[in-house]
Chains A and B, each alone.
Chain A
Amino acid sequence: MSKKEKKLANQYEEPIQLDIPEDEIWTYRVEGLAAPHINKPYKHYGLKKFIFAIVIIVAVSLSMYFSVRTVQKDTFEYESVSSGIQLSKFSNTGFITVLDIDFVSSVEYDESNPDVNTNFTIIKDETKKVTSVGPYALNCDEKVKVINIGADVEYVDSKAFYSCWALQRIEVDENNPNYCDVDGVLFNKDKTTIICRPCDYDAYLAEKYGYAKYDENGALVEPAPEDENYAKYVNDVLTYVVPSSVKTVGELCFNYANLKNVYLPEGLKTIETLGFFEIPRLENVYSYKGAEVSDTHFTSEAALGEVYISLPEGLEYIGSDAFSYNQAMNYVYIPESVTFIGHHAFWDTVYKESGELKGVTVINVARLEDDFKDSVEVGTSWRPQYDHMLFKKSIDVAYSQQRIAK
């Protein structure tokens, strides 16, 4: 700090006396500062006002123009990628419920039709084929119910249809060599990977199996648990059987599903990141072996062969957040084959209610403790935690457990 600056700093303390005559109180100028300008007209007052107004009008107009242009989104946005044309963003006009992903498309309006639900047509340029669907191409859409994937689509990103709350079905053209669908659920062609079970798939199943009753807000009304149809409803709508050919459950595949039971095949090797993320009603994760299953509809356990209350034997990889926020689950069994458990894989599956622990209160593991610690790579906080004396405590692991047949 220079001497000059120190001197300036000490001027806090220095008393200053200014001798200002009474008639100069509004005009007295402090040395080094601009002179006061009180109740006096400014020079070139009119011109200054004019310039001021013009500058403001131009600035605001330009800003509005660019801002409005920026937030305006085309319904369909495409990018050129190495494989061809990628659907990079779909912004719903608010009325599109069925979306075809096959050719480059645009929306055209029929100005003679005042009904906003029907006054548009989606025009397709059949010379330009869509070959891929990029990440977050549809993001938090609340209107689209059905997506039709064309024959030439070679790649669909696992995050392509993120949080499409109304999406009930994804249909794939049967000539597509890369993908297929099984009753509205997206798989790769040889059905070794299940890619996306739509968020509102249960609404489709409810319609299909004759449970479609809706309240005044349009929400599906389920049969009450004491209703004689309830058990059948759970089997038809709230239970899903992953086909026996499946080796991988894709990233975000089942997220936000309305599911109570899921049956996984013994051949399953990988559950990707967030594979079963936030399924608040998911109570049971079963595995089955011995049966060739291609129908995803649950009929009976006998049709599935042997059924275990366990993740499937042969499973090797459990991705991060794979089962997180599923508080209805109350039993987890990790088979011997598992070698990787990602961070927060079972996060928030335990909670306290009236002082009592509920949900997944212990994780059952097939391996011996030392073997588990040596052979299984685990991520941070892979075990769920609960409130314990004002802090958080991870639940226990029970080693050397036998899996339970159902």
Chain B
Amino acid sequence: MQPASYFIQPVKTYFIAFLVIGLLLLILLVGKLYNQAQTVQTTLLEKTRQQAQEEINEKLESTIIELATHMLEVAEWDEVRQQIDDPTYYYFWHDDRLKGSKFFQSNHMQIEIYDHTKWPLMPPVTETNTESKTNLPLFIENTDTTVIFSEKGQPYLHLFEPVFARDSQTLLGYIGMSVNLLPYFLTNNRFQYVDQDSIYFTGSGEIELSELPSHIHFSPIKNEVSEALWQLINDFIFQVMILLIVSIIVITITFQILFTHPMQRLSSYLQQIKKKPKDPHSEPSETFFLKEFEELKHSLHDYHRDLQSTQQALNTQYKIVWEQARRDALTNIHNRRAFDETWNELVASYAYNPVSISFILFDCDFFKALNDTYGHEVGDDVIRISAKTIQNTLPEEFPVFRIGGDEFAVIIKKHPLHESFNVAKTCLKALKSYNFSGIGIKEKLSFSVGISHLEPHLSKNLRNDLLNLPRQADIAMYKAKQSLQNKIQCYKSELDNESLSLVSNKIINTIVDAIHTGKNINMHFQAIQSVIDGSIYYESLVRIQNEEELIYPKDIFLVVERRRLETEIDTQIIQKILSAFTNKIIPPNTGVSINVSSKTLLQPNFIELFQPFAPYLNDYKIVIEIVENTLIDHMEYAQTILNHLRQQGFLIALDDFGSGYSSIRYLAHMPVDIIKFDMSMTQALAADQKTRNIICSTAKMVRDSGYDLVLEGVETHEMLKKAKQAGATHIQGYLLSKPQAIPSTVSNIVPSVISTI
């Protein structure tokens, strides 16, 4: 299961979340417990209050009953009757005897005897400091017990009890008693549920006894068990909270020490490694408590150290490989790949860093002839010496690239044209002054130098102008080759159309436009027929439609070569042929031969150009024709590229064999399947015997080497006969068909090709 991105958090976040959740749960639990305890406490308090209220009511009632009983006892007292009978010594009795008797208790404020008419036996004598309103009345208006509140709010009970004669209902008089209720109540009662000290009365004036309960106030006695329990709970909760806090602190510190700090430290260590992976990083100095972290720390350090070692080794290897890949094996200077990378890098960065750029091409004049004359070993020496001379002459910051067989390129940045020119001049001078006779060359070698230059401030289209520099240098070099004196030529726009005087500007524009846009390119196909089984495939030949007429390859390639548009036109041709396949213009069970230039062959995307043809390989014969110069000049690179295509099913044909300075010694190792003899060789079959023998021998060598042999320019049956005798496996020429927009079918092909074998 993959966690969502917001779940990916630092360990501290999870730890805090864990702590917070745990703490909340515990607080919730403790809160619940506290709440329950509060409920129990409240219930107990309510119960206690109820019990206290009941106790107060009960005690109040019992007190009243007790007082009433006491009043009865007083009424029954003999001495009361004695005073009613004879109150002569009432005051003496009242003050001396009554107040000393058991009937006059401490909180009895006043006891008086009234006669049966409810008047006192003797007028009461009260102390001056007593409150008059609480004194017993002079006349009993109501014998019911009443409550009278003093000025201070103290309740006094006034009780009256009739005194009857013994054994009769004869009323003798009344006993009246005033009781200070609160102290009496408190003195004569013991409370279980009421806090005795909290009892007090409030009120004023006179009230009936029945109203008394509403004037009493009290607090329930503290329930010791409940209080103790509550205290225990509070202590418990307090202890739990303390324990929680201590636990959190301990857990946090422990977690911090054991986990968070090591993780953070290791994470920081990893971040350091990540930021500067190539720098050495010493192992964290801390020692962690957990063995796993210690091992992880050592492992990380060791892993990083080993990784660095490995990386260093790889870098070294890579550098070697990189250097090897970018070094020309022959000259030990930068090769074509290095040039391409440098150039592409320059192109990519030029928009941000536009500087003056000079592109210089060096080329050895007549190198092919030299090669053929002195052999490739000498040719190689010439190339090696040339490269070394140029490299040694140039300042260090300007590397030399071998971009072709005898072609060297130099890119000079941040220097004006005249300085580049001087550099080229110095190099050319060094080349000229080199004594090539040391390697057996008797002739004086000459070199041509083409220079193109770009000043950013003069350019309207930087990128385009930059991309044109190689082509422009090539044009300039072409110009230099044509000159015996000015072997260094700087490109100028006039050179584009120079030597194209026979081609009208309109045609040139049409050609250039067609090359860039693909419009008006009209492919023609000329049959090539097997003399063995009669099978046919077609060589594709480019034509450009110019209004009503066609422009033929001679003019087209004049412009292409002058403007170095070989790759561009090859690309358009390949697209057209692919379109022909798509549109089923190519007859089934035939094939197509496509000509490509050496410049296109050297393009990095050469293989990719042909990948769209892969689906047709099963049903069609697809041949890639290249000229021998390209192969010979770039034998190693061409072998790699072409063999790759051959493995896919493409066939490679070496075109125009014999038109140049083909080297027989390469024949056995060429990455080709078909050798095409130039028309001149076919026509030479009709020449003298000696020439015919050479051609036939060459053809035999080709055949013996396992190649198919195509003879071009077969225009007559006689030539067909001779071509067959020479060993041709395929023939091509007007005898079979002229190049046509619609490929000629088998029936249109001369049937005698096979029959005459």
Binding between chains A and B? no
Question: Which B residues fall within an 8 A CB radius of A?
Answer: none
